[in-house]
Chain A
Amino acid sequence: MILTINGRPLAARPGETLLQVARRAGIDLPTLCHHEGLEAWGGCRLCVVEMRRHPDEAPKVVPSCLQAAEDGLRVETHTENLLRIRATLLDLLLTRAPGSELIRRLALEHGVGDTTFVPQAEPSNCILCTLCTRACAAVGAFAISTAGRGAEGEISLPFVDDADACVGCGSCAAVCPTGCIELKDEGLARTIWGRTFQRVPCEVSGEPTITREHAALLSKRTGLPTDGFFVTDEGRRRQTADTIAALVGVGEGRAA
C-alpha cells in the first residue's frame, strides 16, 4: 500500500494508522492521548493531519492516531492550518495544565507561551486524555474512570473514595503525560488514590516487589500461582544460577 505524506511516497502495511506510517518515516507528529500499547482514543486531537483521497477534494482534518492508511491517500502533516490548530489546542490545554512541563514544552514549540485564554479556576493539570483509565482497564483492575461530563469531567474513583478495585500497580501514574496522579513509594509502602498498599518484600533481597492485590489479579487472569511473584529479578536470577549449578554438578567444573 503506497500513500504520500508531505509529497513523499511511503509504503504502509495494512492496518497501520497514518501516525505509525509518519513516525516510521521520521515525521514528528505530537500526541498526548496516544499510547502504542493502549486502545486509540482520538481525544486530544494534537495528531490531526489533513488528508485527501482525490487531488481536487477539499482536505479533511482527521486524527492520524485513528485514521487507517489507505492506498493513494494524500496526507499533509504540517500545513499552516494544522499548525494553527495545534497551537490553539495547546493554548487551550494550558488552561487545564499550566504546571505540566510536557505541555509547556509542546506549546512553546508551537509558539505559545502562557495561555491566551481564561485558565481553569483550580487547574488540576489533568487534560482528561484517559490514558490512566485505559491503562487501568488493560491491567484488568477497572479501578478509575472519567466521572461527570464535558469540562466538568474528572478522573475519579467510584464515589470519589472507593479504591477497592485498585491493585497498586502504578501504571496510571506511569502513563500520565502531565504527572498529575500522585504515587508515593516509601520502603515497602505504596500510596496511590488515597490508599496505602504494602509491597511484598523479596524473599531473597528484601527489596519491594509487587503488591499482593496485583499478584492476585495477575494470577486470576493468567492462572499463574499467586505466590510465584514475590522475588525480584536479581534474586530470582541467582536462584536460577544455583539451580543450574546443581544440575551440572555443584562447582566441580568438569565438562558435562
Chain B
Amino acid sequence: MKQLVVTPVRCIGCRTCEIACAFSHPAGKTPGRSRIRAFPIRPPEGGLPVVCFQCDQAACVLVCPTQALTRNETTGAVDYHDLRCIHCKACVAACPFGNIGYDDGTSRCFKCDLCGGDPECAKYCPSRALEFA
C-alpha cells in the first residue's frame, strides 16, 4: 500500500503543499484549512513539513466516542466522518503530533485523508520532499 513519504531535508519551504491541500479541501466556496504545515524552521535552506502519520495505534481513533475516525482500508488513511462527529474535540487533544484540528468556522475537524489515495501535496511539491510511493 502506497504511503506519503516526507524527506524533510529536500523541503525548500515554498509551502505550495499547504496551498494545494487547502484548495483540494474547500470549505464551501473558499479554500479550507490545510492539513499539512511546512514549518520555516530550517532557514535559509527550507522548511519542515508535518502531516498526519496515519498511525497504526491512532490516539484519535482510540478517544473518538462515536467512530467518526476510522481506518480506510483502501487508502490506509484514518478518515474523518463529519456526520458522526459530536464535537467533543477529544481527538484534537489526544493527537500527540497535532495533526488533527477543529475548524470553528465549519464546525468540523480537519486532518489529512491522503486525498482519497492521490495526495495533492505530493503532486505539487517542487522538491520531492513529499512523495506518494
Q: Which residues from chain A sit less than 8 Å from chain B, CB to CB?
A: 35-38, 135, 138-140, 169-171, 174-175, 209-210, 214-215, 218, 221-222, 224, 228-242, 244-245, 248, 251, 253-256
**How far is A230 from B95 in the complex, measured between Cα atoms in Å?**
11
Contact A214 B101, beta carbon cutoff 8 Å: no
B72 in the interface (beta carbon within 8 A): no
| Contact partners of A242 in chain B: CB under 8 A | 41
Contact B46 A37, beta carbon cutoff 8 Å: no
| Contact partners of A38 in chain B: CB under 8 A | 66, 86
Count residues of chain B with CB under 8 A from any CB of chain A: 41
Contact B86 A175, beta carbon cutoff 8 Å: yes
Q: A37-B85, A224-B59 are in contact. List 14 more A-B contacts (CB 8 A).
A: A135-B86, A139-B65, A169-B88, A170-B89, A174-B86, A174-B107, A224-B62, A229-B94, A233-B100, A236-B97, A244-B48, A251-B43, A253-B42, A256-B9
Nearest CB of chain B from residue A109's CB, rounded to whole Å: 21
Q: Which residues from chain B sit less than 8 Å from chain A, CB to CB?
A: 7-10, 37, 39, 41-43, 45-46, 48, 50, 59, 62-63, 65-68, 81, 83-90, 92-102, 107
A170-B39 in contact given A37-B66, A138-B66, A241-B48 (Cβ < 8 Å): no
Nearest CB of chain A from residue B7's CB, rounded to whole Å: 7
Nearest CB of chain A from residue B24's CB, rounded to whole Å: 19
| Contact partners of A174 in chain B: CB under 8 A | 86-88, 107
